[in-house]
Amino acid sequence: METRVAVMGIIVENTDSVEALNRILHEYGNYIIGRMGIPYREKKINIVSIAVDAPQDVISALSGKIGRLQGISVKTAYSNVVSNDREV
């Protein structure tokens, strides 16, 4: 299976959507390499970065599901690293 490495930047402005966000991330947990969350209390937002190694369509689906959550924005940056050796 061909996979790509990507980083997703997520801005959480609506904390009511955090539970749904965590549910989605758990669903895609097999593809997640690492996750970092930063609370920015002065601006009342949270910043989350997710590193993934997954097929292109899985990354797009994950980004789309996150982007449809109320008060959450997501952008994805893809690396040029493509491999066929990851089993999920």
- Band (pLDDT 50/70/90 cuts) for residue 88 is low
Question: 36, 49 in Cβ contact below 8 A?
Answer: yes
Contact status, residue 67 vs residue 50, Cβ threshold 8 Å = no
Q: Is the pLDDT of residue 67 over 70?
A: yes
Query: The CATH number of the domain where 46 resides is what?
Result: 3.30.70.1150
The pLDDT tens digits for 4-63 are 999 999 999 999 999 999 999 999 999 999 999 999 999 999 999 999 999 999 999 999
Q: Is residue 68 domain-resident?
A: yes
Q: What is the pLDDT of residue 49?
A: 98
Q: Would you say residue 88 lies in a domain?
A: no
Domain that holds residue 67: 3-80
Per the domain annotation, does 46 fall within a domain?
Answer: yes
Residue 49 φ then ψ, to 5° = -120, 140
- Decide if 54 is inside a domain: yes
> Does 35 reside within a domain?
yes
Structural domains of the chain, count? 1
Is 14 part of any domain?
yes
Residue 73 CA to residue 4 CA, distance in Å, equals 22
Is 87 a member of any domain? no
